[in-house]
A and B are shown apart, each in its own frame.
Chain A
Amino acid sequence: MNKKTLFIGTAFMLVLAFAAAVTLFQNQQPTKNTALTTQQMSALERGNAPIKGPRYAKVTIVEFFDPACKTCANFHSYMNDLVKKYPGKVKVLMRYAPLHQGSDQVVKLLEAAHLQGQFWPALELLFANQNAWTSNHVSQPDQAQSILAQLPLKPEQFIADFNSKDVENAVTKDIKDGQTLNVRATPEFFVNGKPMPSFGYEQLNQLVEQAIAEVY
């Protein structure tokens, strides 16, 4: 075999192998853009989860989030804008995915605030002061709690709710549903049951526009 034949043959084989790998991969990813399984669909929503936007909105963005996650904080104002951009058509339903150490206690604080109608102010406070109550990706629930003290919450009720079975059940259900839906990172979005094909602001916006075109 001469040099040129060897070189051109190998180059050809490499390109062929690459094309084969691409085809194989794309054929094995049919679930990427299609709907979730029935079991997963039923894990998307929790009846009394916090919602932004009108309940009657036909496009529901389910967001799994961790209050300690920086990307979630970055996405927060974008989510508010999305609800405003399509008035009456889009709502955001929040589910807890406490992946960071210590966050399981912080989301219980949020749920307790939710029971007094203060979920959104509480979340904004926590996101705005994220550096004050997280260090090295570990949540400090005590510090988070002292930040929330500036909200108009009934303190005894707040503590009682924080320790209640209801709040614990809500958080446990969110974690369990997150596992059912393979939520391994936050924020994770589902728009009318469809996950993002890839991560990013624009991808989320496209998914929302698609869903609006389908139902309105």
Chain B
Amino acid sequence: MKQETVSNTIQPGWLLLFMAWLIATTGTLTSLFFSQIVELPVCLLCWYQRIGMYPLVLMLPLALFPYDPKVVRYAGALVIFGWLTALFHVLLIAGFIPQAAQPCVQDIPCSQTHLNLFGFMNMPMMSLLTFTVIGLLLYFSNIQTTRNHHE
């Protein structure tokens, strides 16, 4: 009986991991909304970022029940991969990376004034921000728990 109360109490580390899951899931649903409902085309770099984001939706809950602070090792690899891709994408759009390095996707109209470009202008930034926050939450969740163990 006592055991159950302990496992059901919300520790700070668990809460941080929960928030990481919440953000990953919100990001996943948002990206699915834009590609499946609004039907904005998804470029190659967006797909790579999705690879880093979508698995977290299913992976993090496994680390929540029961709570496993070691998840940062597995989830972290995805987050770092997604974060680097998002950074590359942001730099590409800001013009810091030469255009020759840009993967060009067929069927996306080449006009610069297309509405979709508005989406592309903002989406990588949102992605970079999301990966940053998830990464920080995972890190602090891990730190939090390690510290508690030492006490």
Residues of A within 8 A of B (CB): 1-4, 6-7, 10-11, 14, 17-18, 21-22, 25-26, 66, 69-71, 74, 99-100, 136-137, 184-187, 198-200
Residues in B neighbouring A2, C-beta threshold 8 A: 8, 10
Residues in A neighbouring B25, C-beta threshold 8 A: 11, 14
* Chain B contact residue count (CB 8 A cutoff): 30
Residues of B within 8 A of A (CB): 7-8, 10, 14, 18, 22, 25-26, 29, 32-33, 37-39, 41, 61, 64-65, 99, 106-116
Shortest beta-carbon distance from B79 to chain A in Å: 20
Option from B37, B38, B65, B112 in Cβ contact (under 8 Å) with A99: B112
Residues in B neighbouring A26, C-beta threshold 8 A: 37
Shortest beta-carbon distance from A53 to chain B in Å: 24
Option from B32, B61, B108 in Cβ contact (under 8 Å) with A7: B61
Question: Given A7-B64, A7-B65, A200–B107 Cβ distance below 8 Å?
Answer: yes
Question: Given A14-B29, A22-B33, A137-B110, A7–B115 Cβ distance below 8 Å?
Answer: no
Residues in A neighbouring B38, C-beta threshold 8 A: 25
A181 to B99, CA, bound (A): 31
Per CB-CB distance, the 6 closest pairs between chain A and chain B, nearest first, are: A185-B114, A185-B109, A2-B8, A185-B111, A70-B110, A18-B29
Shortest beta-carbon distance from A153 to chain B in Å: 28
User: B107 — nearest CB in chain A belongs to which residue?
Assistant: A200
Shortest beta-carbon distance from A18 to chain B in Å: 5
Option from B33, B39, B109 in Cβ contact (under 8 Å) with A71: B109
Residues in B neighbouring A7, C-beta threshold 8 A: 18, 61, 64-65
